[in-house]
């Protein structure tokens, strides 16, 4: 899934998509951050991942999903790796 734009960090929706077969998700897209992760090419809001972003990453790990960090900000990438 590109950018998880429509999820807005909703863990229930993430779990539903996983149940339906989703196994890889890109955190933010290159020109659009989201509610929990900053992208590389826009004004950073969270300084990487916010608290919910950390929870989101942990849930993706629990579900054994691939976390695509391309186009994320440097801070988001570092924090996602740290949490994982």
0.85 cut: is pTM over it? yes
β-strand partners of 29: 32
The pLDDT assigned to 84 comes to 94
d(CA 25, CA 66): 6
Local confidence band at 5 (pLDDT 50, 70, 90 cut-offs) = low
What are 82's two structure tokens?
């740290």
β-strand partners of 49: 37
The pLDDT assigned to 40 comes to 86
The pLDDT assigned to 67 comes to 94
Which pLDDT tens digit goes with each residue over 27-71? 876 676 677 888 888 766 778 999 999 999 999 999 999 999 988
d(CA 55, CA 12): 12
């Amino acid at each position: 899934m590109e950018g998880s734009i429509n999820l807005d960090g909703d863990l229930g929706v993430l779990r539903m998509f996983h149940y339906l077969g989703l196994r890889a998700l890109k955190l933010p897209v290159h020109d659009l951050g989201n509610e929990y992760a900053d992208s590389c090419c826009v004004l950073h809001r969270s300084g990487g991942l916010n608290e919910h972003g950390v929870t989101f990453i942990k849930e993706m790990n629990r579900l054994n999903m691939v976390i695509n960090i391309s186009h994320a900000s440097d801070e988001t990438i570092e924090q996602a790796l740290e949490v994982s």
